Structure 1
Amino acid sequence: MKTFFSELLPELPYRPPYTDQYVVDELVTPLLYKADRAKATKAYGSITESEAIQLLSVGDSVFVKT
């Protein structure tokens, strides 16, 4: 996945996507049940280590404001 994004990124006319830990968790949880731990771990690592995907930190202060 990291190689895929690295090769694709220079051609994209827009900035890399942003996501947060909650979205990543929602992806990994079904993989644990429908695939296996190895695939879920690989997907999690690919996203969190990716240079193309910006992983944002959402703290409690954000939820208090909403």
Structure 2
Amino acid sequence: FKHYWLKSVRAPGYYKNLIVNIFVGLSAVYFLVIFVLLGFMMPRILAEAAPKLDPALTFNGILMYVT
């Protein structure tokens, strides 16, 4: 098992794939955090944008135009 591991680590494509995988993983974590924070902050953002309307109705009204 150790020999197989060392052979795969010494392969020239290993580090290139490792860097790409790290970049993709960090990008996924970044977008996950952004979407989670946006989900928590959306009611406040909508309440400031349209103070007299219910945030849920405002969000659903926006969805009508997006789709």
Ranked by relative contact order (alpha carbons within 8 Å, sequence separation 6 or more), the top structure is 1
Structure 1 or 2: larger strand share?
Answer: 1
TM-score, structure 2 length as denominator?
A: 0.23
Structure 1 or 2: larger helix share?
Answer: 2
TM-score, structure 1 length as denominator?
A: 0.24
Larger radius of gyration: 2
